[in-house]
Amino acid sequence: MSADVWLPLPPEEIEGLPEGLRYLFWDGGEDGDQEFPGDPARCVMYVVPYMKRWPVKVRPLEQLSNVRVIQTLTAGVDDITARLSAIVPGVRLCNARGVHEASTAELALTLTLAALRGIPDFVRAQQQERWQGAFRPALADKNVLIVGYGSIGAAIEDRLTPFELARVARVARSRRTTARGPVHPIADVLSLLPEADVVILSTPLTDATHGLVDAEFLSRMKDGALLVNVARGPVVDTNALLAELERGRILAALDVTDPEPLPPGHPLWKAPGALITPHVGGPTSAFLPRARRLLVDQLTRFVNHEPLRNVILTTGQDPKEPVGTAPEDPAGTDPEGPDTPGTNGR
């Protein structure tokens, strides 16, 4: 019986796939009703389709009776962990650490600069053919708080470094020290908020981070501060955020929302001080080459019975306490990146 691997990218477009497996293309199709490429019982590794609706991603799970690895092409794995009960025991769930850091960190910086410098206002003025200058905040001399300091959070700091910041504070699930300075435990976040001019969210969505940014969290942010979310929409309480935006007390730049997609007529679309992008942190030209490299490496490890990268959990076992930070993961089970280390699309 053949051992099949289901890939959401055509196998002929991935150089270096190891021999010994049969590679089948399945991305769910345009409408999510694409027929399975083979017998699900023969699939030993399922690579989850990228940028597809949740029902498409989880549709095969109950029929993958012999699957050994489920590999996402996103940093966050919440789509799959929401259906763990449908997966047989002993399956290693791996995320895409290493694929989205560059793109997501770029967007976090882009949103921060665009919101601070008032780019949306200038775009609207251009559309109306109005030359309208303004005095706006700079990123220089600001205090930035990164909530979720895994591989994406670290990549964000890499890109912030040249901007002459006053200070960067880092928050993760647990306390640790990095070459750049201390990482505070999530329990310290409320005490750090009053000093932050910019708060960047890059934490994975877990039970611990769902609704983390609630009314109390937002009330601790200083007047005029900017909230940037490149994590997951449900990390933020939308109603609480709307209340602060409508008061004009803070600004928000959001690549992810709750609900998502944000429906027409939702008040968040027109909330004062809100800049919204449609979950585009991951899908850039940087995605495919990094995704292909990850798949070749993982499959080579699998064929050679070597340890896989980015294992978040093994089904049927007690998972390690999620490490909170980024939509990126770790090398162990730290979705936020490592204590040794290792996510929205993303």
8 Å CB contact between 333 and 313 = yes
Decide: helix, strand or coil at residue 117: helix
3-state secondary structure at position 55: helix
Please pick, among 100, 184, 266, 279, the residue that the annotation labels catalytic.
279
Q: The tokens of 175 are what?
A: 């306390």
Q: Which two tokens stand for residue 291?
A: 């995704």
Tokens of 131: 């030359």
Residue 14, Cβ density class (10 Å: 0-12 exposed, 13-18 middle, ≥19 buried):
middle
CA distance readout (Å), 65 to 47, 62, 83, 160 = 15, 7, 15, 46
Tokens of 55: 């029902």
DSSP state of 114: H
Please give the order of strands across the beta sheet that includes 167-172.
176-178, 181-185, 167-172, 143-147, 198-201, 226-229, 251-254, 274-276
Task: Reply yes or no on whether 210 is catalytic.
Answer: no
Helix/strand/coil for 245:
helix
Q: Indicate which residues carry an active-site annotation.
A: 279
